[in-house]
Amino acid sequence: MSDKLFNLVTGDILEQDVELSLAELCQTVQLNAEQIIELVEHGILEPLGREPANWRFMGISVQRVRCARRLRRDLGVNMAGAALALDLLEELRLLRGQLTRVEQRSRDET
């Protein structure tokens, strides 16, 4: 297909290629610095670096902020509850991955 060439869009992998400063994260998720700092205080975000001025956020922070916001808006959980839910969801995701692999293997063997 000839139109493939002229409008092929390339992107980067959020979890691997993207690192954000505090200001960049604020802009991306449309929150102010105080709100981001609150998320850091609750462990929802874990930036590298000691001071807010040189914090570096992993790209996945963007998804975590949004997920926390949806959980708070839709389910009425508070910040600590959202932090707990995010951690549990992450653990669930890993366990589901392992379970799928184990189930596929036992299906192969039968």
Partner 1 sequence: MEEVGYNHTNRHFLTGLQSNYRGHMEYKDYYQIMGVERDASQDEIKRAYRKQARKYHPDVSKEADAEVRFKEVGEAYEVLKDPEKRAAYDQLGANWQDGQEFRAPPDWDQGFEFHGGGFTGTDAEQFSDFFENLFGGGGFQRQSGQAYAQQGDYHARGEDTHARVKIELEDSYRGANRSLSLKHTELGSDGRPEIKTRILNVRIPKGVYPGQHIRLAGQGSPGINRGGAGDLYLEVEFQEHPIYKVQGKDVYLTLPVAPWEAALGGSIKVPTPAGVVDLKIPPNASSGKKLRLKGRGIPAKQAGDFYVELDIALPKADSEKTRQAYAEFEKAFDFNPRDTWESKS
Q: Which residues bind partner 1 (CB under 8 A)?
A: 3-4, 7-18, 28, 59-60, 63, 66-67, 70-71, 73-76, 85, 89, 93, 96-98, 100-101, 104-105, 108-109
Q: Which is nearer to partner 1, 18 or 52 (CB)?
A: 18
Alpha carbons 76 and 7: distance in angstroms, whole number: 42
Q: Are strands 57-58 and 19-20 parallel, antiparallel or unpaired?
A: antiparallel
The answer to whether 98 touches 69, Cβ cutoff 8 Å, is no
Q: Which is nearer to partner 1, 22 or 82 (CB)?
A: 82
Spell out a b/e string for 85-98, using b for 16 or more CB atoms within 10 Å of the CB, else e. bbeeeeeeeeeeee
Residue 99: CB minimum distance to partner 1, A: 10
Residue 51: CB minimum distance to partner 1, A: 26
Q: Which is nearer to partner 1, 43 or 66 (CB)?
A: 66
Q: Which is nearer to partner 1, 3 or 51 (CB)?
A: 3
Cα distances (angstroms) measured from residue 29 to each of 24, 44, 75: 9, 14, 20
Provide the 3-class DSSP secondary structure of residue 58: strand
Residue 40: CB minimum distance to partner 1, A: 20
